[in-house]
Structure 1
Amino acid sequence: MTPLPLRHKIALVTGAGGTMGRAVVAALIEDGCRVALVDVNEASLAPLVATYGGAVLAVPCDISDIHAVRAAHALVEQRLGGIDILVNNAGILSNNKIEATSDTEWRRVLGANLDGAMYWAQAVVPGMKSRRFGRIINTSSLAAKTGGLTAGTAYSVSKGAMSALTFSLARELAPFGVTANGVAPAYVKTPMITEQLTEAQRQELLKQIPVGRFCEPEEFAHAVRFLASPLAGFITGEILDLNGGLLMD
């Protein structure tokens, strides 16, 4: 592989200001991309802009709002050009099970975790098809297969639907040189683990993970950069498990 396998490619990463998003941005820039940074929290993008300068474009956006996505997409195309790589990484966790899940929470989680991915895919697909190249990489979760060991109903359902969206896109877009794949991590070292789980929950989980540790953000980013690479063009419709052996299938 060439030293910069994604040189001149334009990538867009949602949830770019979060722990996993920052790791993905770093990996894609290292491979030669210019990256549009999408996050609802504008302040979280400032350190990335300070670090990477002209290699990135900060695009504050509520991805659950289709009109905001369309406006953000137009801005990115105007400033950077057509988007070659879409990483649908934004997401929010809910640990509430079915009886404790309110309608408001259901809509909030599905809006952030699923609707935004669909809106962004809808926006970038025409350009990818016309250029006969594209990579769509969706962040699913172990919860999609287990029903949620610690995650709640809305989160688990949203990630199951994210996997289904990946399959649908892969089937439709394969003839156009566009691949769609997912990464299903479990327990990456993010605030979802360090702040939203108790110490007792963390210790219990570590007992169940065969490798005996949580996933590093850079390991997740490495999986994304692999699926984005030119040499991954024969892989589509796959969900890459990244769970330390917690679930083997």
Structure 2
Amino acid sequence: MELAGKTALVTGAAGGIGRAIVTALVDAGAHVVAFDRDAAAMEKLSEGCDPVVVDLSDPAGIEMAMLDVLKGDGRIDILVNNAGVLSPNKLAATTLEEWHRLMAINLDAALLLTQAVTPGMKKNRWGRVINIASYAWKSGGLTAGTGYAVSKAALVGLTYSTARELAGAGITANAVAPAYVVSPMIMEQLSEEDRNRQLAAIPVGRLCEPDEVAHAVRFLASPLSGFMTGTVIDMNGGLQFG
């Protein structure tokens, strides 16, 4: 129960990776505030968390939700920016409308939430910011589209900047970059041909499991990760080293 007494905020909590992260943090003793836009799906979350329906593409909605959360819980000790949307559209097919939608959810929401929670972390001299990036940030996307890959690369940049700025305040900022997790985003939005092609290219011979991502998040949230900041944990099954 290494996170007893801590409060965590997890976005995209009703998705496959999000549910696993919520469960892992609850098992570690944290109280979890779960953000997602799918109210029905959040009914399946584990006990020990407070579900909050939020559309992360709406900055005003994020602000209102955070006012309520911080008034109720006082502060957030652990922020997990997990929410994300995927697009397979490459450069020529990427519209400005799609680009803005991807950035709003994958990047802008992470910025706004980080800005909202870090004052309390500074006051307490302890905090964890954990961003769920993607192997797409360093691979140019492969099967993922241009906008998605760029949004995740920018999220890594936000991680680095946050880590550099806040290290002296007792706050760490790290990212986890998985490749091809068994989740609705991958299973529903990639074609069977794309999935099979990428599975054949992964040296370990399988896709990543949500619980594996959650395990990495639990470690980064723990007190024993305090000397790690500005780090990206690659979880790509050997697709790329270094």
TM range (shorter): over 0.9
Query: TM-score scaled by structure 1?
Result: 0.95
Determine whether 1:67 maps to 2:64.
Answer: no
Q: Which residue of 2 aligns with 1:103?
A: 96
Determine whether 1:89 maps to 2:82.
Answer: yes
Determine whether 1:5 maps to 2:2.
Answer: yes
Runs of 4+ aligned structure 1 residues displaced above 4 Å come to: none
Q: Which residue of 1 aligns with 2:125?
A: 132
Deviations along 1:73-113, one digit per CA (max 9) or x if unpaired, are 12112222310000000000000001111111111111010
Q: Which residue of 2 aligns with 1:41?
A: 38
Unmatched runs of 5 consecutive residues or more in structure 2:
none
Q: CA deviation at 1:245?
A: 0.6
Determine whether 1:25 maps to 2:30.
Answer: no
CA RMSD of aligned residues (A): 0.9
Q: Which residue of 1 aligns with 2:154?
A: 161
1:84 and 1:130 map into 2 onto residues whose CA distance is: 11
Determine whether 1:78 maps to 2:71.
Answer: yes
Q: Is the 8 A contact 1:210 1:245 kept in 2?
A: yes
1:194 and 1:62 map into 2 onto residues whose CA distance is: 23
2:57 and 2:159 map into 1 onto residues whose CA distance is: 18
Q: Is the 8 A contact 1:63 1:119 kept in 2?
A: no
Query: Match of 1:195, as an amino acid?
Result: E
Q: Is the 8 A contact 1:10 1:81 kept in 2?
A: no
Q: Secondary structure at 1:211's aligned position in 2?
A: coil
Query: Match of 1:208, as an amino acid?
Result: A
Q: CA deviation at 1:44?
A: 1.7
Query: Match of 1:155, as an amino acid?
Result: Y
The aligned length equals 242
Query: Match of 1:116, as an amino acid?
Result: A
Query: Match of 1:205, as an amino acid?
Result: Q
Unmatched runs of 5 consecutive residues or more in structure 1:
none
Determine whether 1:197 maps to 2:190.
Answer: yes
Q: Which residue of 2 aligns with 1:147?
A: 140
Q: CA deviation at 1:176?
A: 0.4
Q: Which residue of 1 aligns with 2:179?
A: 186
2:96 and 2:199 map into 1 onto residues whose CA distance is: 32
